[in-house]
Structure 1
Amino acid sequence: MAQKLKKIHTEKTSLHERNLHRERYDFIELINSYQELSKFVFVNPFGDKSIDFANPDAVKALNKALLKYFYGISYWDIPDGYLCPPIPGRADYIHYIADLLASVNGGKFPVGKNVKVLDIGVGANCVYPIVGHREYGWSFTGSDIDPVSVDSARQIIDKKPSLEGAIDIRLQTSPKNIFKGIIHPEEFFDVTICNPPFHASMAEAQAGTKRKLINLGLAKGPKAVLNFGGQNAELWVEGGEEVFVKQMIRESAEIPSQCLWFTSLISKRTTLPGVYSELKKVNALNVKTVEMAQGQKVSRFVAWTFLDNDMQKKWAKERFKK
């Protein structure tokens, strides 16, 4: 498991207990790991070291430092304008997924390359596969509809030999499909993960970003909205996340025995009733909603399976072997 920062700061106790980012950022250690971060670090009015989280270059430098220090990733970059995700939140999803798999494996989270995970919308950043492989040794397949994202993710993998063979990136050539064209016949996954585009339009995405920056006290006039990262496919889809996740549910019902657990993050609580209704229509046998708190923000993911309890235990016995 990756090295932890020195325990000299107050813990972020809302994060998962195995999350390496429970401590406040130790910028001295992070700068030692990635020197370029130093140009963005300053002392805020409270006397703490910080960065300007409205500055995409600063956020990217922080991510580079975190990925190098905690996960041994010496090269990590994304094209300008692409989503630069918060690493602690991404790690939380992975750890809760491990708990989900443990729930059908006698309480023990499975480790090793035999565990197969599909990341829908892997993005240019490839963060979920990096964290999941480094923390648990899982094998990942990442899919995306954007060729630039696919090329970027592949470049990150190519620069780290230990990731080659552990992470496979596939281009989804049909924007209307999610699993179709990605999951091959007779191919099996233990779990799928997804951070869906949750806005219904670019205008809504921009408004949401500006609102977040204002709430954080980071907005700097009308241009603040331009400081977010993320391409169209990463941020919005016609109909928003509810339409996207419902399509995912319908497609999952067509391959019920090829995956143990299907999951997706759900950003808006108002999306849940529609998701539950769709899961009832396709006769999902078990549905779980897992809440994850990160500071003042509460996020969640919904998980569903078409396998009964006996089938789940049999799956784990046969596949979760080192």
Structure 2
Amino acid sequence: MFIYALKRIFGMIPTLIIVLVAVFMFVHLLPGDPAALVAGPDADGATIELIRHQMGLDRSLPEQFMHYVVNLLQGDFGTSLRINQPVSRLIAERFFPTMMLTVTSMVWAIVFGLVVGIISAVWRNKWPDHLGMSVAVSGISFPAFALGMVLIQLFSVYLGWLPSIGASSWQHYILPSITLGAGVAAIMARFTRASFVEVIKEDFVRTARAKGLSEERVINKHVLRNALIPVVTMMGLQFGTLLGGSIVVEAVFSWPGMGSLLIDSVNMRDYPVIQGLILLFSLEFLLINLAVDLLYGAINPAIRLK
């Protein structure tokens, strides 16, 4: 398992280099002059040129990229153009609320998706299957921002049970996590059902039943392990989807996370913050894929030999 993990970690290095180059070039291709933004609208050309020199923008792109990479290795993501604070500090302040919201949404989405998917597969073409898949289709079809506004109107405005903005208590996580995780839960339910139905039809499952094993033992010992392999891959992909989808949900609920920080930075053309957030989101995707690969190998040891 250790050798397998090392192979996957070293395999991330080329992808990480490509991500670094892509993020660097993306920000430099955005319209606008960062030096002019820092100098202000009333600055003259000489002042702008002086600030451009101080920011290193008068260097060639390869020189700027090497300076950027060296600073990253030292933990320096640059300084915000808007409030003149280190980007790493701004991201650190917003990281925990976003990660907690994402993890909370993913936990209930996985539990709900697996339970509904397994029940639908075991009782396929019966009323539990029809009910579960109807709920799943509804979850996929309803946009996250619309669901969020409906939940706010119902539980915050009409009933007054739950808060609609902020992140200061566990009650604040309920509505945003439901909004963020609804689509993922629906996808997980449908994917789990399809995976279990496919495995249930295999010969080794029929053999286990022919031996007289109980249905519970057949599902838990023979079906579950094999059906979970593609489901684990889907979990990793959907976790990455949640990180991206949190931007919209955070805007709806005024959530103090990285998504709202990214929206504010784009509106204010705060390029260092945009660059740092995009790089962090990309790195999180890479780490999620690594975790999925390792979990994949733990579930199916034969994969480690490939």
TM-score bracket, normalised by the shorter chain, equals under 0.3
Find the structure with the greater CA-based Rg.
Answer: 2
Higher strand fraction (1 or 2) = 1
Relative contact order, CA 8 A, sep 6+: which one is greater? 2
